Amino acid sequence: MLDLVGTELSAKEASLLQNPRVGGLILFSRNYVNPDQLKQLIASIRAVAPNIIIAVDQEGGRVQRFKDGFTRLPAMSALGKLYDTSPDEAIHAAHELGWLMALELRAFDVDISFAPVLDLDWQQSSVIGDRAFSSSAERVALLSGAFLKGMHEAGMAATGKHFPGHGWVQADSHLELPYDERLESAIRQDDLQPFASLIEEGLDAIMPAHVVYSQVDTAPAGFSSYWLKDVLRQELGFDGVIFSDDLTMEGASIAGDYALRCQKALAAGCDMVLVCNQPEAALQVLEYLGTLPELDNPRIAKMRGNPCVNRDSLREDAARAIAAKLCQ
């Protein structure tokens, strides 16, 4: 999965998207001006790569790439705070916000938003912080589970991140490699629980963290066959897609150059690797992938969105009112 430079698809990018080793495209704020421009951009992408997975980070709060013309979504911590006083209202709000977020994106043929965030807010990580639903594993599971059901209802697959939990470490893995030095038992007791819960509820995909859990493995989770194969696949029985986090992040640099990062992520168990914001890095990864035998991965095709059906203007208005209230 790679990205685009601007608001229109260039001829070079159109050619790149037709490479059989490119299976996904992630859009950022720089690719968005307004709904009409997005509609045209998506149409141009579909014209050359009709089955590509189009993704965006539309979590809410400070991580919402499309703003003008879209509902302003609250940070998910607002739902955790609402749960303190009104648990039923919070769960309903989570469901409706997941549905509305997915509904708005599916109307433009965007397949997935990389959501929900399943990390716990340990009051230590600035990069996670209010992106997390709560500091309580039980509440994160309940609220994110409702959010997931809303996404599914609107025809969108859900991606839980950042496995097995990014909320404890202070370092930002975009800028440096974080180390979580807790015992494995502590991670399993708390951070792992929302992932286990949502897997049982039909979570479609997972994105591992560029974090080293040093008492468990010397490699970050996204390059660790222990975390991805032994724990996630075998122990938790997860059969969905494993997306790597962006291989250009500093937290991935421990694995070597971009080709090596790709090689190690795939060997550890990732189905698709993300290479963003550095076109030359994407080309290096594609060159490496071209040396491998072509493999059919049926998991990835399941991430394509379903048709946007049963739009209900009254329900949309009510969901937007919930979002506006929680954004205050």
Nearest-5° angle of CA 162, CA 174, CA 213?
Answer: 50
Structure tokens that stand for 92 in this block: 């309903």
Query: Greatest CA span in the chain, whole angstroms?
Result: 56
Structure tokens that stand for 264 in this block: 């190690």
Please pick, among 245, 257, 271, 296, the residue that the annotation labels catalytic: 245
Is 174 among the catalytic positions? yes
The torsion of the CA quartet 44, 50, 53, 55, rounded to 10 degrees, works out to 20
Residue 53 β-bridge partners: 24
What is the H or E stretch that residue 2 is in? strand 2-3
Q: What are phi and psi of 45, to 5 degrees?
A: -70, -45
Structure tokens that stand for 291 in this block: 């040396």
Please pick, among 92, 109, 172, 174, the residue that the annotation labels catalytic: 174
Computed on alpha carbons and rounded to an integer, the radius of gyration of the chain in Å comes to 19
Residue 163 β-bridge partners: 208
Number of residues in the chain: 328
Is 166 among the catalytic positions? no
Chain centroid to CA 92: how far? 22
Structure tokens that stand for 236 in this block: 């938790």
- Residues with catalytic annotation? 174, 245
